[in-house]
Chain A
Amino acid sequence: MPKRTDISSILVIGAGPIIIGQACEFDYSGTQAIKALKEEGYRVILVNSNPATIMTDPEMADATYVEPITPEIVAKIIEKERPDAVLPTMGGQTALNCALSLNKDGTLEKFGVKMIGADAKAIDKAEDRQQFREAMDKIGLESARSGIAHSVEDAYKVLETTGLPAIIRPSFTLGGTGGGIAYNKAEFERIVREGLDASPTTEVLIEESLLGWKEYEMEVVRDRKDNCIIICSIENVDPMGVHTGDSITVAPALTLTDKEYQIMRTASIEVLREIGVETGGSNVQFAVNPKDGRLIVIEMNPRVSRSSALASKATGFPIARVAAKLAVGYTLDEIQNEITGATPASFEPTIDYVVTKIPRFAFEKFKGSKNELSTAMKSVGEVMAIGRCFAESMQKALRGLETGLDGFNRVPELENVSREKITAALSQRTPDRILKIAQAFREDFTVEEINQITGFDPWFLRQIEAIIYEEKMLGHNGLPRDEAEMRRLKAMGFSDKRLATLAVRSVGVAGGLAETQARRSGLLHDALRAMAGATSEQEVRDLRHRLGVYPVYKRIDSCAAEFEAITPYMYSTYEAPSFGEAEDEADPSERRKIVILGGGPNRIGQGIEFDYCCVHACFALAEAGFETIMVNCNPETVSTDYDTSDRLYFEPLTEEDVLEIMRVEMSKGEVVGVIVQFGGQTPLKLAAALEREGIPILGTSPDAIDLAEDRERFAKLVNKLKLKQPLNGIAKSRDEAAAAAARIGYPVLLRPSYVLGGRAMEIVDSEPQLDDYINTAVNVSGDSPVLVDQYLRDAVECDVDVIADGEDVRIAGVMQHIEEAGVHSGDSACTLPPYSLSDEIVEEMERQATELARALNVRGLMNVQFAVKDDEVYLIEVNPRASRTVPFVAKAIGQPVAKVAARVMAGEKLADFEPFNLRPEHMAVKEAVFPFARFPGADPVLSPEMKSTGEVMGIDRDFPAAFFKSQLGAGMNLPREGTLFVSVKDSDKEVIVPAVKTMLEQGFRVIATGGTQRFLSDKGLDIERVNKVAEGRPHIVDAIIDGEVALIFNTTEGWQSLLDSKSIREAALEKKLPYYTTAAASLATARAIAEVSTEQLEVRSLQDYYS
């Protein structure tokens, strides 16, 4: 069927900020969809509040609205743009919910907008638990015994049919927020209450527990002629009980016979038909009882999803692209698979490798929260690895995670402990359970025992057992000295680094001084190397190369080599020769090429912003005529999309894996250089290894990057340039730290050197707090010193992004933070241009940034952080590489900042690019979003440690409106009336007065705790007093829980008051109240409430702003 001609413009709804459960996979999907729709000649209108997305690049859609994704705002966009249709299936749950609201409130009907991809009825049927269950009954598919509850009383009735343990899932929430597994009645009641609160419809589903059952997911695509195909089956290695997003998964399913698989295949298709998903991609999840194969449908998502992104990357089938084409009327047989160029879209990919996905977690950022996994998703990113067998795939994934693993690293706390302790550890669903399973094999547990405890399928367990067996053998015998044996081990996925560790162990020097000596040069080292084969990663690599054992590269072609495909999409594997030599399909070109190293799995502090930069580097360098080669292992990203680069290696970003790719690419053509500055810390860590191998690195030299990160070297530069830094010191022991702090004066900021995202940073006010930090948060030693900085209390912090080409320096943006210095820059809201700084201060920062760029000989991007206190500019930090702020700056000023930088790195001059306008007529505000709701127990307060997962941008003609939009986009619905609770630290009391005045004028009732109340009353303001928690009940938390409070301004300082006020923030979080923990943000909020209302907000496209 040809495409629809009754529509000519389509509104695509994005997913908004990156949050847990909704990450950059929706940028990947949405970008594909927009390209696909534009190819067909449709006018595409996009709404997405997330500036760090490729889809919101102004050249993607015809009209791009970086506006909050709320029904009110999207309705305004519809009214303005009058699209013929809305495609709600590309933006996750956010887009579906928004489209449903617009349908319910009549907006779509009023403006004659058709829903394409999935209609409201189908979405409802899939999302509403009761309707879904009835639909499944109708087609004879079994669901888990369950019931719906709207109250705790209902819930107890349902419990009678399900029994304990029971699974509680709130309706219409992201990634199962607020759900969980209850083992006893008290826990049951608590989770039900949380779930009811979390659900926008105050509804929870309570289900019989299928803990320990096998879990599968099917990715299905359907067209409007009812052609249905399965793109991929996915099997969870973690059995039921852990959210799919938090589970280790493999593709394809590995433990089903064809008969069982076909039952699931047919059932998935039946589900799509019954739910009425007319066109597009959906996933259907199943549980299978390992004892008898009983099949239960868990849920389906009538849209593209995280798993469809994974399935696309795993098979080479672009689901979102195809889904978009189907949504406008094409049928599967009319579409070709662009990736392979060989296969039609109407076919089921078959693969000849194993794909493993492992989620990455961030529990260390949320102290106080338990690291146990359940049905509510908690992971912040994922790694995908491809190998020709499960073992290779799994071990590649483990090292690709970048959590310090080289494979199945030992778990020291389970060594030489009782079996009971190991059993107990295995029974906990923690993020590192797979490592604990491997450890249990080392401790002589059997497959049967571990299967009994964990429910992991014996097939997977035996594979891990086999890996551990080889480790044991290596630990006895050292490295093999013959080609076949070395190749066999490499084919099982062992990294050179892991082999080195095991080899050293074989000579009995594991750990301690002996191991250190063994690794050094000298006679002992030589002797040990002779015995073990090698003692370091480098030596293992040398040995391996001497033996002629190299990886080969295979193509992902969606058809297992049945047809010739053009796919430039590759992974490495170790193959035995079949016809003389191992067959390699890499086929590098003769072109001039540039390799871009990506950022690996998303994590807090290194997310979509860096991928955005890598993608722009690919685009820009391709425009400049280079062949672009991307290396990355994050399946959620646009950088790993098939048409982002000329060649894609889906590989872990480790020294070993990257150097092998470089060997192949350098064998032909000319590698002009490697870009390591765009992917965050991940590729930077590889710079040294690349340099050692003589591989050219483009742009700013790694040495300059190191200089900027090295305290002592940097201090020298700062002195030379006569710039001012906060006082600082470096301490290699507790006493040195205390002495430095005393010299600088408290408060001081403490942090370990070389970190990203401010991990383990803390502001301390006194020596006892300093002791506490040193004892709990870090290991201080000669190898890992602690940095001590003067903390500029209440200073204004700024970010300046620049591009330099070695001659010219160009300022790309100056951002003023709203939160004071001390809050991590990634967690702070900021504005571009600055909203309250004088021109002189801004110019001074620009001057300093320019000097720094020259001094560091920057070629490419550089980010500088300043603090301004009492009209004095302090230099905080310089990063001569892409920073998190680049996409925001690009969107705010309307210039392709990252692209210009990439081309400058490849040798072009800044003068050749059009000038940037740094004083736009509009104001852009960036706000961070936080996953606190996912981590009960952790204090939801901002600090020097970064905790946000994503960001939104509010853009409007003035600050209050832009700020209001940024809050709305971040999910903070600012109240128009009600009660404001104020409790601020002494130094903020004077500062907060105007905000409180404003709120009183707006008709708010204001309550405050003792000190704040007295201070404000003395100023003649009408403030009521409320008890602090420690002052007896009823207190402020009671008031919050009872719904009496609508807004909170709560700033604290010092250890004790932070602890005291934690329950306030937790209660606010639970009630989803807007709360502000800094005075500056409170002031901005008061202004926004006074001057702006949702009804008056205007929407405007980026194209309009820039023109």
Chain B
Amino acid sequence: MALSAFSHAQPKGATGVIVFADGTCIWGKGFGASGSAVGEVCFNTSMTGYQEVMTDPSYDSQIVTFTFPHIGNVGANEEDVESRGLGAVGCIVRQDITPHSNFRASDEFVEWCKRHGKIGLAGVDTRALTRRIRVQGAPNAVIAHNPRGQFDLKALKKQAAEWSGLEGLDLVPSVTREDREDWGGGFWQLGKGYARASWEGKPHVVAIDYGAKDNIFRNLVKAGAKVTVVPARTGLDDILALEPDGVFLSNGPGDPAATGEYAVPVIKGLLDRDVPLFGICLGHQMLALAAGAKTAKMFQGHRGANHPVQRVGEGWGESTGLVEITSMNHGFAVDADTLPDNVEQTHVSLFDGTNCGISIRGKKAFGVQYHPEASPGPQDSFYLFEKFVGMLG
């Protein structure tokens, strides 16, 4: 791959650019919000669900390269969102965004990006970029869009170069809720939209929001729980005061070790009190940290909706060895070699063997690295919500 700094000058008509920390840049057509944003450039291989990806808070401070060339075909709607406007700061796509064709769309993707402050760049060889990320790791970069095509490249380069990157970064404060919320939304059905949750006589789950995807809460409700969402820095006593039957540890952006500084002690406290726990993604990683394991940044994260995960270890009975196709979005992982004796590995990635699930022996506590709530992605793993809610009370 030929790499040279500023290898080609701004082409005529370019209204958007990605400037990497090393000074290289990729020109294209900007869309969505104007301005610039810094983040880590990652990729996602899902062929559907761009709106869900863009609103997943775990993508905070990230710029998503969509490997599928046509993005925006089905427009945007109010339902297919995973948070209140959080998520990726921008996206890189190959094809220009077309007008939508879908009966559920209420807006065009371009307009939606604009409204939600997300910057887009079209006209990029996203496959070449993906290959670069695969080989060289996820780079830091600035994405910029100016409809008049005017860019201060020097400043952008400086911005990219000076950004600290995700490692060691606690991004949770910028995406967690400020206030406690009694979750009222249920599961989505075609033609009916989201149901309303009914709380009568349901076990109570307190969900700690490190940047959670809404569909996690909807799945908990579907599995039969009453859900109260609390901000990331909610203390142990405040959580216990809510009298939870179980506590859920959500996904979220950034380095688990950084967020773990304040979150892990709380999780340890819950473990000590035998409160049932279920963690997803960042929540899973911090559960592992609380149990004494270590996490590490992956050279190449997992981001897509086609990742095979296998059930391993004891306790699966007949379903030992079963494979589920999962949605994934993580750049850090639990180092399986550091799992203490009381922690069992329950799931592994069939791609690279990395840890995808743990269970703590003698406790009702488990976590998975991937996203059983799907959205986007396959719904093979709903059983985990049923398992969790089933072990409460």
Contacts and interface: CB of A to CB of B under 8 A. Distances in A.
Interface string B208-232: 0000000000000000000000000
Contacts of A291: 103
A1104 interface: no
B7 A579 contact: yes
B265 interface: no
B79 interface: yes
4 closest A-B pairs by beta carbon, nearest first, are A258-B49, A459-B101, A580-B7, A258-B376
A565 to B, nearest CB: 11
B134 A563 contact: yes
A484 B11 contact: yes
A263 B190 contact: yes
A254 interface: yes
Given A256-B74, A580-B2, A333 B131 contact: no
A32 interface: no
A290 B100 CA distance: 13
B306 A349 contact: yes
Interface in A185-231: 225-230
Given A579-B7, A583-B127, A351 B68 contact: yes
Contacts of A42: none
Contacts of A577: 7-8, 125
Interface stretch (B91-99, B141-149, B291-299, B383-391): B91-99
Given A258-B48, A484-B12, A579 B306 contact: no
A580 B23 CA distance: 13
Nearest to B188: A259
Interface of A: 1, 225-230, 252-263, 265-266, 290-295, 331-333, 343-344, 346-354, 388-390, 457-459, 462-463, 484, 554, 559-564, 575-583
Given A258-B376, A389-B70, A560-B45, A578 B26 contact: yes
Interface string B160-203: 00000000000000000000000000001011000000000000
B114 interface: no
18 contacts: A227-B322, A254-B70, A257-B48, A259-B79, A261-B49, A262-B48, A332-B323, A347-B306, A350-B67, A353-B69, A354-B69, A389-B70, A484-B12, A560-B68, A562-B43, A579-B2, A579-B4, A582-B125
A559 B123 contact: no
Contact of B375 (A227, A258, A332): A258
- Tell me the dominant secondary structure on chain A's binding face: loop
A352 B51 CA distance: 18
B377 A258 contact: yes
A583 B305 CA distance: 26
B330 interface: no
A581 B321 contact: no
A255 B74 contact: yes
A252 B47 contact: yes
Contact of A564 (B99, B125, B134): B134
Interface string B308-352: 101000000000011101000000000000000000000000110
Contacts of A390: 70
B308 A354 contact: no
Contacts of B94: 388-389
B52 A344 contact: no
Best-buried of B11, B125, B305, B375 by chain A (most CB within 10 Å)? B125
B371 to A, nearest CB: 12
A170 B389 CA distance: 49
B130 interface: yes
Contacts of B380: 228
Interface in B71-91: 73-74, 77, 79-80
A498 B347 CA distance: 54
B46 interface: yes
Contacts of A254: 70, 73
A739 B104 CA distance: 70
Contact of B52 (A229, A258, A560): A258
A354 B1 CA distance: 24
Interface string B104-134: 1000000000000000000111111111101
A353 B321 CA distance: 32
A257 B104 contact: yes
B1 A561 contact: no
Contact of B45 (A257, A559, A583): A559
Q: How large is the interface on B (under 10, 10 to 19, 20 to 34, 35 or more residues)?
A: 35 or more
A459 B75 CA distance: 11
Given A292-B103, A580-B4, A225 B321 contact: yes
B3 interface: yes
A351 B125 contact: no
Given A259-B79, A347-B325, A561 B350 contact: no
Best-buried of B125, B127, B130, B374 by chain A (most CB within 10 Å)? B127
B323 A350 contact: no
Given A459-B73, A484-B12, 20 more contacts: A229-B323, A230-B325, A252-B68, A257-B74, A257-B77, A261-B49, A262-B48, A265-B378, A293-B190, A348-B305, A350-B45, A352-B69, A458-B101, A484-B13, A562-B45, A575-B125, A575-B127, A578-B125, A580-B4, A583-B1
Contacts, number: 206
A621 B305 CA distance: 41
Contacts of B374: 262
A434 to B, nearest CB: 17
Contacts of A333: 308, 310, 321, 323, 350
A226 B383 CA distance: 15
Contacts of B310: 333, 346
A266 B80 CA distance: 18
Contact of B132 (A351, A554, A563, A579): A579
Contacts of A575: 125, 127-128
A295 B77 CA distance: 20
B357 interface: no
Contacts of A463: 98
B150 interface: no
B279 interface: no
B24 interface: yes
Contacts of A295: 190
Given A257-B104, A388-B94, A459-B73, A561 B188 contact: no
A433 B51 CA distance: 34
B56 to A, nearest CB: 12
Nearest to A347: B308
A557 to B, nearest CB: 10
Contact of B70 (A290, A344, A354, A576): A354
B234 interface: no
B304 interface: yes
Contacts of B102: 255-257, 260
A343 B308 CA distance: 10
B321 A576 contact: no
A949 to B, nearest CB: 35
B354 interface: no
Contacts of A344: 308, 350-351
Interface in B1-26: 1-4, 7-8, 11-13, 24, 26
A580 B102 CA distance: 37
Contacts of B103: 290-293
A459 B98 contact: yes
Contacts of B3: 579-580
B127 A226 contact: no
Contact of A350 (B47, B51, B127, B375): B47
Contacts of B43: 562
A283 B50 CA distance: 26
B157 interface: no
Contacts of A260: 102, 104, 190
A318 B204 CA distance: 47
Contacts of A261: 48-49
A579 B131 contact: no
Contacts of B325: 229-230, 347-348
A347 B307 contact: yes
Contacts of B124: 576, 578
Interface in B21-78: 24, 26, 28, 43, 45-49, 51-52, 67-70, 73-74, 77
